[in-house]
Structure 1
């Protein structure tokens, strides 16, 4: 007879282990990172957008048809998995490093929003039409008004 276990409602982590090929690839990426930085360096905390940027670069390379990361020699999809794990972990353990929107807001505030500063539009070749006003990019439409003239 087996002993009692009160595991109702607890995550079944053994389900993750069923993806053994993906986990082996993730382990190789983690080994590379441990050599390059130090083991578990990421656990000190990383800005959320830095992790998302790394994830996005590896995903973009994979989608562009590149299988392996040039530096590590490991699969880009394994780097995607590791960065997704990092992001999921730091989002829970380092909420103070969540910099989503903060960087974009600072960048927007530091850039002139006058249409000529933004350059010509693909929709309006050559120059911005007279009367075009650009709104803030966060929380407002990009174009707030435009007069159309014959």
Structure 2
């Protein structure tokens, strides 16, 4: 069956998970896996102060910016650690716990 012969289906409003790069998602899963091994599954869901997550994200981003792609302590990609922070902050804002201690 060719693409032209495929059954028609309207997916226009559905989320396109197929567009998320699998290799980057795998790096993100690696950060979650490392955290689960160190602190227990889903421990992060207890919450963190937003500024604590932000500070960690900025340390990882700065290390990456200065040419260090992988964290020397745990081997995780620095940008995956930044993505982890962004993901958990989104989750906390949407679902709690909200520990929003931003200065503004």
Scaled by the length of structure 2, the TM-score of the pair is 0.79
Say yes or no: does 1:14 pair with 2:12.
no
The structure-2 alpha-carbon separation of the partners of 1:13 and 1:34, relative to structure 1 and needing over 3 Å to count, comes to: farther
The structure-2 alpha-carbon separation of the partners of 1:40 and 1:67, relative to structure 1 and needing over 3 Å to count, comes to: same
Match for residue 86 of structure 1?
88
Higher helix fraction (1 or 2): 2
Q: Distance in 2 between matches of 1:79 and 1:68?
A: 10
CA shift digits 1:35-94 (9 cap, x unpaired) = 111111111111111111111110010001111112211110111111111111112222
RMSD: 2.3
Q: Bigger radius of gyration, 1 or 2?
A: 1
Q: Distance in 1 between matches of 2:97 and 2:77?
A: 29
Q: Distance in 2 between matches of 1:36 and 1:70?
A: 16
Scaled by the length of structure 1, the TM-score of the pair is 0.57
- Structure ranking higher on relative contact order (CA contacts 8 Å, 6+ apart): 2
The total of aligned residue pairs comes to 97
Q: Distance in 1 between matches of 2:84 and 2:98?
A: 21
Instruction: Determine which of 76, 79, 102 is the counterpart of 2:78.
Output: 76
Structure 2 runs not aligned, ≥5 long: 1-6
